[in-house]
């Protein structure tokens, strides 16, 4: 919006407050709220905040930071009772007024600028499919002498034996039995529709929603593809809306990749393509109707998959999902239509504009600004160095013999292994000053100290079952 358009928007909607949001290192929104009278001050000068209170950012002796609102992101917040203007912000240094090097949104903008500078393309489109669970309750605790979690869902298959008011009515999808089921098994259609309508109210274009494979309320809402930065913005809105609509309905939603043992986890299959001057660059006469450039992009994704996982699968829980047999491919191969391949080429349409690839390993615990940028930088490196991905693997990879499977490389099996891969393979990310050693080192240090070690050092209940009587 132009300043005049923004003034009219504020007046027409009776806005009283500003909710200024920025994204932290890990991909979570932070916000401060101001009277609407401070709008133009904020647009011109930015709003101050304490950077030392944000994980992985500033030391206390250099903590003053500014967030600069992006007026193109203005929308009335759908959840606050008082009419409030929501503005997404970039983080800048208050002294130099340069973008802060660890600000994810600024990094994503640098990635787009680098893409344009290569001359290969001018636009990268991303279409993530973020899955989530809607539970009726969640309890968990971690103490020196005990730890536990307990989730429950009225539609969970394990509750067919539960005593319920008026009697148990069944119709609860079994483990792995939830894909696209209808009611009464799918109890969440109206809830997902409310989520969709709220997303539409903030400008997100939605294509479909449905129940996903797992029992206990696993769901998916699909957004129409959009440009890198805008789609990353929308992923944060998506997660914010899903969680808040669930909460308003007396439920709780999570994007945790693997909250249930033995059932499908939640992925974020990410469709992507490059365009130039309005022309799709991934359509051609090579395998599956792809162009040679698209195959090189795939080659880059496969070569740098380990480093990508450090951003696209950034939690210890991510690697509870990245195991064979759950449509979460660990094997680094590509194929048309094949959901057991790490890279799938969808074949729903023959239109050149629909030609894209789908990277199936990412999950929704990621920071989308960093993850999308890392994927695109890997693909561009593949194009620059003409990295061919080899022959496609048009088989069910999970049914391969051990001898055949030994020839197929795999993604890292743990967060530590992914961080090791990122440490060793970072050069492709640093082209055009998109990523930096400072950011990568800070990411690795934070993830090791606060997440990988935190989980590694603690006994878990399964170990008592296995080893108490050793």
Residue 233 backbone phi and psi in degrees, to 5: -55, -45
Distance in Å from the first CA to the final CA of the chain: 67
DSSP class per residue in 333-391: -EEES-TTSSEEE--S---GGG--EEE----TTS-HHHHHHHHHHHHHHHHHTT----S
Task: Tell me whether strands 17-23 and 84-92 are parallel, antiparallel or unpaired.
Answer: parallel
Close Cβ partners of 227 (under 8 Å, ≥ 6 residues apart): 112, 123, 124, 125, 126
Q: How many helical (H) and strand (E) elements, i.e. helices and strands, does the chain have?
A: 14, 18
Close Cβ partners of 34 (under 8 Å, ≥ 6 residues apart): 17, 18, 20, 42, 47
Total length of the chain: 470
Q: Which helix (H) or strand (E) holds 179?
A: none
d(CA 173, CA 187): 10
Q: How many CB atoms lie within 10 A of CB 327?
A: 17
The single residue listed with the structure tokens 């040679």 is 292
d(CA 52, CA 420): 27
Q: Which regions of 36-145 does DSSP assign to beta strands (E)?
A: 47-50, 64-69, 75-76, 84-92, 123-135, 137-143
Q: Which of the residues are catalytic?
A: 50, 129, 131, 212, 220, 269, 339, 358, 360
Q: What does the block give as tokens for 222? A: 């699909």
Pick from 434, 390, 351: which is nearest to 105 by CA?
434
Contact by Cβ (8 Å): 105, 369: yes
409-414 CB contacts, 8 Å cutoff, 24+ apart: 409/302, 409/331, 409/332, 410/330, 410/331, 410/332, 411/305, 411/306, 411/309, 411/313, 411/322, 411/330, 411/332, 411/342, 411/361, 412/306, 412/309, 412/319, 413/319, 413/322, 413/330, 414/316, 414/319, 414/452
């Amino acid at each position: 919006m132009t300043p005049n358009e923004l003034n009219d928007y504020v007046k027409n909607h009776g806005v009283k407050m500003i909710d200024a949001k920025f994204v932290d290192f890990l991909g979570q929104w932070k916000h401060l709220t101001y009277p609407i009278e401070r709008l133009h001050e904020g647009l011109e000068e930015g709003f101050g905040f304490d950077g030392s209170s944000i994980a992985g950012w500033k030391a206390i002796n250099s903590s003053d930071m500014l967030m600069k609102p992006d007026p193109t992101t203005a929308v009335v917040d759908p959840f606050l009772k008082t009419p409030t203007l929501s503005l997404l912000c970039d983080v800048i240094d208050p002294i130099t007024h340069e973008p802060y090097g660890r600000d994810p949104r600024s990094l994503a903008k640098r990635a787009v600028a680098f893409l344009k500078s290569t001359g290969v393309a001018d636009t990268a489109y991303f279409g993530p499919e973020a899955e989530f669970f809607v539970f009726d309750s969640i309890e968990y605790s971690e103490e020196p002498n005990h730890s536990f979690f307990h989730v429950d869902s009225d539609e969970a298959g394990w509750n067919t034996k539960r005593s319920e008011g008026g009697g148990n009515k069944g119709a609860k999808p079994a483990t792995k039995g939830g894909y696209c089921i209808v009611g009464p098994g799918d109890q969440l259609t109206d809830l997902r529709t409310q989520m969709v309508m709220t997303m539409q109210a903030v400008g997100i274009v939605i294509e479909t929603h449905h129940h996903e494979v797992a029992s206990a309320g696993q769901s998916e809402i699909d957004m129409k593809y959009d440009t890198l930065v805008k789609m990353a913005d929308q992923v944060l809105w998506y997660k914010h809306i899903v969680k808040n609509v669930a909460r308003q309905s007396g439920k709780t939603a999570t994007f945790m990749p693997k909250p249930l043992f033995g059932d499908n986890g939640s992925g974020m299959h990410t469709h992507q393509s490059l365009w130039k001057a309005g022309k799709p660059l991934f359509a051609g006469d090579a395998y599956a109707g792809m162009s040679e450039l698209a195959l090189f992009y795939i080659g880059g994704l496969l070569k740098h998959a380990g480093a990508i996982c450090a951003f696209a699968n950034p939690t210890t829980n991510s690697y509870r999902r990245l195991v064979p047999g759950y449509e979460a491919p660990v094997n680094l191969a590509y194929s048309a239509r094949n959901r057991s391949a790490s890279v799938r080429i969808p074949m729903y349409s023959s239109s050149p504009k629909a030609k894209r690839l789908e990277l199936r390993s990412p999950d929704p615990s990621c920071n989308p600004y960093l993850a999308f940028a890392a994927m695109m930088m890997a693909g561009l490196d593949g194009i620059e160095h003409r990295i061919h991905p080899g022959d496609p693997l048009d088989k069910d990879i999970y049914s391969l013999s051990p001898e055949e499977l030994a020839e197929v490389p795999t993604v890292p099996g743990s967060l530590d292994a992914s961080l090791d891969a990122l440490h060793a393979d970072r050069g492709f990310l640093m082209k055009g000053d998109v990523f930096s050693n400072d950011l990568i080192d800070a990411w690795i240090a934070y993830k090791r100290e606060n997440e990988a070690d935190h989980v590694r050092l603690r006994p878990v209940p399964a170990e008592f079952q296995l080893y108490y009587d050793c």
